[in-house]
Chains A and B, each alone.
Chain A
Amino acid sequence: MLDVSIAYNRYKFLGHEFLTWLWFIMEVDPACILKAESDMVSLEVDNRIVLENSFDNRIENIRIKGDEAGFEEAKLSLQKGGVVTELNFSLKIGDHEWKFNIKGESLNISSLKSPETGKIEKKEDIEGAVLEKIYLYEKVVLLVENLYKQFIRIRVSSKWKNETIPLIKKWIKS
C-alpha cells in the first residue's frame, strides 16, 4: 500500500467525486440509495453544500447554507467544473432521523446528530446508553461504507466512463 500521507493527498479527489456522485444519485435515482439500508425511508441533502472550483491555479470555495437554501448556485458551480467537497445529510429510517456531515477529502463524519435516546439517571444506565448510541451511529457509518463501496466498484469499472459520467454531465446541465 502507498504511504498514507501521499495516498491521502493524491486520492482525495475520490472523496469529492463520491459526494458529487452521491448528490447526483440522490436526485436522479433515489431508489438505488434505498438498497443500501433495508428500512431506509430517505437520504437527502439537508442544508449545506460546499464546493471547490479551481481555475487559473486559484481555488474558489463556495458554501451554500440554510434551511431554505436552494442549490441552484451549487449546480452552477458544477457547471463551471466544480466538485462537491462537503455535504450535509438528512437520513430517515423508520420514524427516526439522523443528520450528519461528510467531508470528501477524509470521508470523516462530523456534526452527527442521532435520534434521541433515553436519559441517563444513574450510573447503571451508562452501559445501555453507550450500546444504544453505538447502534445508532453504526447506521450512519455502515450506510456511508456501503455507498462508498458501491461508488468504488463503479469508479474502477468501464461503467464509470461509458455510463455514469455522461449521465452526471446531463444532470449537471439540466
Chain B
Amino acid sequence: MRLLSSSVSITRYKVKGKIQGSLVQTIVDGLKKNFITEIDNQPMEKAAGWTSFDNPYLPDFETSSCVIGAHFVFSLRIDKKNIPPKTIKKYYTLEMAKRLAESGREYFSRNEKSQIKEYVVNALSLSIPATPNIYDIIWNYDGSSLWFFSNQKAANEDLETLFSKSFGLTLIRLFPYTMADLASGITDKERDLLSTISPTKFMD
C-alpha cells in the first residue's frame, strides 16, 4: 500500500538495535544487498525485496535517495505469480495424458504425479508475469520506530525477515502487549503487574 494513497493502513514497529558505522551508507548497502529481482521468465513463483519509493519498478539506490527529512523512506516489493488452480489442472491433465501415451503405461506412482505437477507449475511460471505489490516503509531511525503501510500478515512477515537479513536489526511489532511493555513508560513494578493481569468482566 502506498503512503500517498487516500486511505492507508499502518503497522507500527519498534526497531531494536543500532547500526555501527556510517548510517546512510549501511542502510543503502542493506537495501542494495536485498533489492527486488525480476522473476518474469524465471521458474519462480514469488520474490520479495526492497525497491525505491519513487521508482518501484526500476529500483536504483544509487540515483534515488531513500532519505526524506529525518526519515528513511523505501518500499518492500513482493512479486507473485498467481496461476489459477484450474489452469494448473488443465495442463497437468494434458501432460499426464502425453506422458502415459509416450511410455505406454497405464498409470503413474504418486511420486511421479507430484513430479509432473511440479514440472507443469514451473513451465507455467515461465510464461506468466508476476503481479507486483508495493508496500511503503517510513523508518524514523533516531526514534527507533518504523511504519509499514500494510496490515497483511504475510507482507508483515516478509518485512520482518528481510529487515533482519538486510540490516541486522530486529523489528518488534507493536500490539497490545508490546506497546504496554515497550512504549508506555511503565515502571518495573507496573510491568510485574502487567504480566499477571487477566481479562476484565465488565458485566457479572
Contact = CB atoms under 8 A, between A and B. Distances in A.
Interface string B186-204: 1000100111010111110
B176 A172 contact: no
Given A14-B177, A141-B147, A112 B10 contact: yes
B177 A145 contact: no
B91 to A, nearest CB: 38
B176 A14 contact: yes
Interface in B36-73: 53-54, 68-69, 71, 73
A153 to B, nearest CB: 7
A107 B138 CA distance: 18
A127 interface: yes
Interface stretch (A15-23, A27-35, A60-68): A15-23
A59 interface: no
B4 A129 contact: yes
Interface residues of A, number: 54
Contact of A112 (B7, B181, B186, B199): B7
A111 interface: yes
A12 interface: yes
A135 to B, nearest CB: 10
B173 interface: yes
B69 A165 contact: no
Nearest to A11: B177
Given A109-B10, A141-B147, A152-B184, A130 B68 contact: yes
B203 A169 contact: yes
Interface string A109-141: 111110000001001001101110110010001
A168 interface: yes
A7 B193 contact: no
B6 A113 contact: yes
A149 B203 CA distance: 24
A172 B151 contact: no
Interface in B1-43: 3-4, 6-12
B39 to A, nearest CB: 28
23 contacts: A2-B177, A4-B172, A11-B176, A13-B176, A13-B200, A15-B175, A17-B199, A17-B200, A18-B176, A83-B202, A108-B151, A108-B175, A129-B4, A130-B4, A130-B68, A133-B4, A137-B3, A141-B10, A145-B183, A152-B179, A152-B184, A157-B190, A169-B203
> Which 7 residue pairs spanning A and B have beta carbons closest together?
A11-B177, A14-B176, A15-B176, A110-B9, A7-B177, A13-B199, A156-B193
Interface of B: 3-4, 6-12, 53-54, 68-69, 71, 73, 138, 147, 151, 172-186, 190, 193-195, 197, 199-203
Given A108-B9, A172-B203, 5 more contacts: A11-B175, A14-B177, A17-B200, A81-B203, A112-B10
